[in-house]
Structure 1
Amino acid sequence: MSIEVLNESGEVPAPVAEQELHDLARHVLDQLRVNPRAELAITLVDEDAMTALHVQWMDLPGPTDVMSFPMDELRPGSDSETPEGVLGDVVLCPSVARAQATEAGHSVEDEILLLTTHGILHLLGFDHAEPAEEREMFDLQRTLLLTYLAQRGRTTTAAPDASTEH
């Protein structure tokens, strides 16, 4: 599996280690049986870059927390082999995540891990526009994040089913 993590946010060090984001993404993709040859990019950007993307792709002003850009429309696998391809890009804005974490009373790291999981689920076709979709997506998001953290011997202060800003 090719997972590339880039910190273009200007925050050094990044609020979450690149290896942590890589490991979380691998966990999510493994749990959802995405082809091991799938490609994923996770990029952390500053508010100006996120604002530009938010305006260009969503026609909404200002920065947001996470955006997902699917490429080959890969979906979670079943017992059969799933196709390989480019899953797409997850773009995160640490400064927006920091503000949300402060408001919610948990760590920036927990917020970014939550947003990364959320973004990957969007790449895999999950959405939360309708109540039933939201329940399915947020239940899966919670399960994936909590099982990842449990494997690391950690817990989270973030509500893994919390709604994100976007």
Structure 2
Amino acid sequence: MWCAIELLPTSCLRMSVIRMLRISVNLLARLAKMNDSRPKVQASRRSGGDGVPEVFCSDEQGVISVPLDECRKLALAALMHEGVRGACELSVFFVDEATISELNSEHMGKIGPTDVLAFPLDTAEYNEAQGPGTPSRGPSRPAFDTDDVPTLLGDVVICPAIAMKQCEDHAGNFADEIALLLVHGILHVLGFDHDLEDEKTEMRAHEVAILMEHHWNGPVPSGFRQEQDE
């Protein structure tokens, strides 16, 4: 049975993942420049803002072509679809097999590469959404003080090489595989899980709903599967 996600709560997510991914000096310079150009958000902010989430995508492997702009748009659409609003950020990293193997070993205690890892923010939770401009939490996260809205939602790390290897007996093609892994990871960041059968059913339903509306713009393709063939 396919289980793409490895779930790891962590704090200081962006810098932690950047360090683990061994990002090059040139990329760090670009990220620093990008950080300087972003709108500054206060660390503590009340709910009810009119902002939308920001998604940052970075290709760290450079071997298999990944449509970063499409991934960013799908990630943002997935967040909005799930009711996430306000000044918050999600990062998506595409890495090689060696990097994701190292992360899998260091943080999950598992040998070898996996297709996707999710790093949800563990230092605060989101408040229930009360309107279209309200920062909101994932479905499994309890309410908290609205004066303490976090900036970072979390990080999703995807390995395109593994996605390429498994796509034919999973999502059907590479584009759909990347889209599925991305949405799957985002849902984990928002609090979804699939340990129990009812949780799995709910999570898969959300995956399909997001992909139908924001990726396929239509019905599910005949070759699409959410589990790999045995």
- Please give the TM-score of this superposition, normalised by the length of structure 1: 0.86
The reply on whether 1:129 has 2:180 as its aligned counterpart is no
> CA RMSD for the aligned pairs?
2.4
Query: CA separation of 1:105/1:150 partners in 2, compared to 1, >3 Å: closer, same or farther?
Result: closer
- Structure 1 window deviating more from structure 2 (98-107 vs 32-41): it is 98-107
- Structure 1 window deviating more from structure 2 (69-78 vs 31-40): it is 69-78
Separation in structure 2 between the aligned mates of residue 142 and residue 105 of structure 1, nearest angstrom: 11
| Partner residue, 1:106 | 172
Letter in 2 for 1:60: K
Percent identity (aligned):
32
- Structure 1 window deviating more from structure 2 (74-83 vs 54-63): it is 74-83
Letter in 2 for 1:36: G
For the residue of structure 2 that corresponds to 1:9, the secondary structure is: coil
Question: Gaps spanning 5+ residues in structure 1: where?
Answer: none
TM-fit CA distance, 1:44: 0.3
Separation in structure 1 between the aligned mates of residue 182 and residue 102 of structure 2, nearest angstrom: 20
Residues 6-48 of structure 1, C-alpha deviations (whole Å, 9 max, x = no match) = 0001225x2x311100010111111111123110100000000
For the residue of structure 2 that corresponds to 1:90, the secondary structure is: strand
Separation in structure 1 between the aligned mates of residue 113 and residue 188 of structure 2, nearest angstrom: 18
The reply on whether 1:78 has 2:146 as its aligned counterpart is no
Separation in structure 1 between the aligned mates of residue 197 and residue 171 of structure 2, nearest angstrom: 26
For the residue of structure 1 that corresponds to 2:75, the secondary structure is: helix
Letter in 1 for 2:160: P
Letter in 2 for 1:27: A
| Partner residue, 2:184 | 118
Q: How does 1:54-73 map to 2 (within 5 A)?
A: 54-71=104-121, 72=123
Separation in structure 1 between the aligned mates of residue 221 and residue 150 of structure 2, nearest angstrom: 32
Separation in structure 2 between the aligned mates of residue 115 and residue 75 of structure 1, nearest angstrom: 23
Larger Rg over CA atoms? 2
| Partner residue, 2:88 | 38
**For the Cα contact (< 8 Å) 2:171–2:177, is it kept in 1?**
no
Residues 54-82 of structure 1, C-alpha deviations (whole Å, 9 max, x = no match) = 11111111000000001155559533422
For the residue of structure 2 that corresponds to 1:138, the secondary structure is: helix
- Structure 1 window deviating more from structure 2 (65-74 vs 94-103): it is 65-74
Separation in structure 1 between the aligned mates of residue 211 and residue 161 of structure 2, nearest angstrom: 21
Query: CA separation of 1:150/1:73 partners in 2, compared to 1, >3 Å: closer, same or farther?
Result: farther
Separation in structure 2 between the aligned mates of residue 50 and residue 43 of structure 1, nearest angstrom: 10
The reply on whether 1:87 has 2:137 as its aligned counterpart is no
The reply on whether 1:6 has 2:77 as its aligned counterpart is no
